[in-house]
Chains A and B, each alone.
Chain A
Amino acid sequence: MRDAAAPAILRTKRPPDEILAIAALAALLVAAPLAIYPFLLAQALCMALFACAFNLLVGYGGLLSFGHALFFGWASYFAAHMAKGFGWPPELAIAAATLCAGALGLVAGALSIRRQGIYFSMITLALAQLGYFVALQVPFTHGEDGIQGVPRGKLFGLINLGDDFTLYYVVLAIFLFGLFGVYRIVHSPFGAVLKAIRENEPRAISLGYRTERYKLAAFVLSATLAGLAGATKAIVAQSATLTDAHWTMSGEVILMTLVGGMGTITGPVLGAFVIVAMQTYFSAMGQWVTVIQGAIFVLCVLAFRRGVVGEIAARFKISL
């Protein structure tokens, strides 16, 4: 991860470029449903938030998790079950499911940060696969049928989420909250230590930092935000299914982040929109979508390791 747009971020402490980029993105997203089908947009936002959460870990912590579907998928199940099975209002279901994902992140993180580099990736992948099979077995997830017909309900008992436009703006609020959260974390002292660990872990240790705690904290934060994305998606799509917990989802979130740019604030958002758009508009092409995704992976790794936003940022020597 060392060459992924790191210098630009380290140079300035709190660059206004990023704030501007976030503001521009927010403005664009507020206007977007006028042109694009809002239900699709709301789902894309959930994926974007998921990618941001993932980016927090890989882009700033240098930890490539290959099992983030574990948190996304399980939070989705929790939220769906709470909203449908327990009849909880959407805000409560989302909040509780997010916390559950955080707890799951604590367990998975504690196990996986015991190893570094590639081993870390493989362990997270295996843990997520474990979670997938558990989801297939336990009764409340309804196995391969998934949880269907999750009620969207009324936010705070007032706002009816049944309308696609209302729903979109609520999801947008959640998304911006998450995105800004990532921004604050990255630019906090904690984020600085995290970046230091990414750059050179032995040096961080010699400076007296207990790097494992930092890595674990980053993992838990990332899992929690991924959970927020998954829980929101359950309410948006009104269902929670095995798709969200499968390893292909872990692969997709990596692709989104890679395309947009690891270690950039807005890159993963762009990447998520690109991939979701591709999947939606090319869906008639069947398995060719998989081939294209694979080709993008190969292309990004060989030629655009910084991703789209990362390349732009590097070209103009700014931080986005």
Chain B
Amino acid sequence: MIPLLGITTQALFAQLLLGLINGAFYALLSLGLAVIFGMLNIVNFAHGALYMMGAFFAWFLLHYFEIGYWPALVLAPLGVGLLGMVIERTMLHRLAGLDPIYGLLLTFGIALIVQGLFQNAYGASGMPYPMPDLLKGGQNLGFMYLPNYRAWVVVFSIAVCLATWFAIEKTRLGATLRAATENPELTRAFGVNVPRLITLTYGFGVALAALAGVLAAPIYQVRPLMGADFIIVVFAVVVIGGMGSIMGSILTGFLLGLVEGLTKVFYPQAANVVVFVIMVLVLLVKPAGLFGKQA
């Protein structure tokens, strides 16, 4: 028990751990954004809305089909990912070759439509989603009471992030993907179906967002605007990390979760803005972001 700036080290550890949990959501979402951006050169503004849809998908499964949390963890990303692929095929696809800003505007429009529709159907206050029985309760770690579910969120999202990193950086499929990003013409010449690869990539990025949504459902209320403001913070996270690297976006996500957690303890008034302030500082010092290459 060594007090530090008016807070005990134990409490500090507890807050750091909580920050890590929030960082898990940032990491999953910014990873999805980075994957999509890398491949399609599109900033997916609909990411927050799709994250929300992931949570709702889980809720639908439970409410209408009595399918619980564990199957939802697979089914929701699949379902929303499929929807993402439809969006890519029918709309985003047409913007190839145009200024990437149009992709931003289009996905912004999609986000408005989706959020508006859900608000019409389910109101704003949202619905509760029960915790899976297996993960109820918590552990007394001595310095804090850690709910089992939160521990699960951290462990699971780290695993997903690492698996994604491995798949993109270390496998043959990932190599093809990276090649298609670098030079689509040449990759096509090697017999790779680049448009299909693009569609699948978008679907995968969207599925990551939906997965984060399912993870969030038991903690937060499942509500139509749960992703609307969240996504702007994730954008700042992406700017800080730089979009160039997969690992960069994962690390920045967790890092900023920690920083935000600390801010909540020492200067809670700034908890909302700390990510944006860091973004400004990073831009001044390293315009390309912490892990990015100068664009």
Identify the A interface with B (CB < 8 A). 1-3, 64, 66, 111, 114-119, 121-123, 125-127, 129-130, 133-134, 136-137, 247, 251, 254, 258, 286-291, 293-298, 300-302, 305
Contacts and interface: CB of A to CB of B under 8 A. Distances in A.
Interface string B152-191: 0000000000000000000000000000000000000000
A66 B231 CA distance: 14
Given A133-B272, A291-B120, A121 B112 contact: no
B108 to A, nearest CB: 6
Contacts of A302: 91, 94-95, 106
Nearest to A291: B116
The 10 closest A-B pairs by CB, nearest first: A297-B109, A294-B112, A290-B116, A294-B113, A291-B116, A130-B276, A298-B109, A126-B236, A287-B119, A301-B106
Interface stretch (B10-18, B97-105, B140-148): B97-105
Nearest to B240: A126
A301 B105 CA distance: 7
Contact of A118 (B101, B116, B279): B101
Contact of A122 (B119, B239, B277, B284): B239
B110 interface: yes
A296 B112 CA distance: 10
Given A116-B295, A119-B295, A287-B120, A130 B109 contact: no
Interface string B29-44: 0000000010000010
Interface in B77-125: 91, 94-95, 98-102, 104-106, 108-117, 119-120
Contacts of B101: 1, 64, 117-118, 121
A18 B95 CA distance: 30
A294 B104 contact: no
B232 A298 contact: no
Contacts of A116: 295
A123 B283 contact: yes
12 contacts: A64-B105, A121-B43, A122-B43, A122-B238, A123-B279, A126-B275, A129-B236, A130-B273, A291-B112, A298-B106, A298-B109, A302-B106
